[in-house]
Amino acid sequence: MSANMRLIIDNVHDSATLTATSEALPVDYTQRSGRSYVWRSSDLSGQVITAQLDSTSYIDAVVLYRHNLYTTATARVELLYNGDVVYDSGTLRTSELIPPPRLRIGIDSWGATYDENMPVLMKPIWVNPTRITGYRITLSDPDNPDGYMQIGRIISGISFSPEYNPAYGLQLEWQESVEHRRTEAGSLRSIGGGLARRLALDLNFLSDADRTKLTTELVKRGKGSDVFISVYPEQGGIKEVEHSFLARRDDNYSHTHNFYANWQSSLPFVEV
């Protein structure tokens, strides 16, 4: 599979029929975009989430997004076709370990992860494109200090990966919704909160096929639809973790036919 940037524009999970082992909060909330909507288990016993798609689809990813899974938690994804398992990921850690020499011996705890210091936890599981009618996610997290498992969104689908990556100069911005105000006595007070990423993807070398795919997928779904972005898929480390998030377009879609057989498009995204 290509290591180029990937966008999951059509999330087939959102139209699936879902079941879960337990639902302190409904599993259907993984199909809703608001941050306050989450699936939550009743306890820390093993949990299984099953998705039955409304039609046969090809997918190459299942992403567990905005979860609370502890650093020792594991997940297993099985892709199903008419009830038969056609792909099994096996048991995977849901966090990204900090490897030596980046692990600071004596400072970082053994087994420290990049995820524990990130405001949003997510676990993408990439596979070769597979024809399925559903999938099963098995979670194990007996050490979770919260006493329950939680997932905000699940993303699954077939990704768009352009022939050429975004241009150099890629800038990721962490937008903090904080306003500084100074009191009459001169003290500085900070009001508000919240954090969201903003990323502009400058695609300067788009083939006609890539431009057609972007046009048909992005325009059809509009600015209000969620898109999962992974700029550095399967590369690991903080580089992949920081540049992978669920977002919406922050401007109108446009493209430029700048020279023979080539198109350009700038896609600004803001995290949901």
Neighbours of 238 (CB within 10 A): 14
Q: Which of 197, 208, 173, 213 has its CA nearest to residue 272? A: 197
CA angle 269, 271, 272 (to 5 degrees): 120
For the stretch 4-61, pLDDT in tens is 999 999 999 999 999 999 999 999 999 999 899 999 999 999 999 999 999 999 999 9
d(CA 142, CA 36): 24
d(CA 230, CA 206): 18
Q: Give percent of the chain with pLDDT exceeding 70.
A: 93
- Residue 1, pLDDT above cutoff 60: no
The pLDDT of residue 122 is 94
Q: Which of 239, 201, 265 has its CA nearest to residue 99? A: 239
Prediction pTM value: 0.90
- φ, ψ of residue 80 in degrees (nearest 5): -120, 140
The pLDDT of residue 236 is 84
Q: Give percent of the chain with pLDDT exceeding 90.
A: 84
How far is CA 202 from each of CA 8, 16, 228, 241, 265, rounded to the nearest angstrom? 17, 33, 17, 20, 6
The amino acid present at 38, given as its one-letter code, is V
Q: What is the mean pLDDT of the chain?
A: 92
| 209 Cβ contact list (under 8 Å, min separation 6) | none
CATH 2.60.120.260 in the chain, residue ranges:
12-157
Is 12-157 in CATH node 3.20.20.30? no
For the stretch 154-199, pLDDT in tens is 999 999 999 999 999 999 999 998 999 999 999 999 998 889 999 9
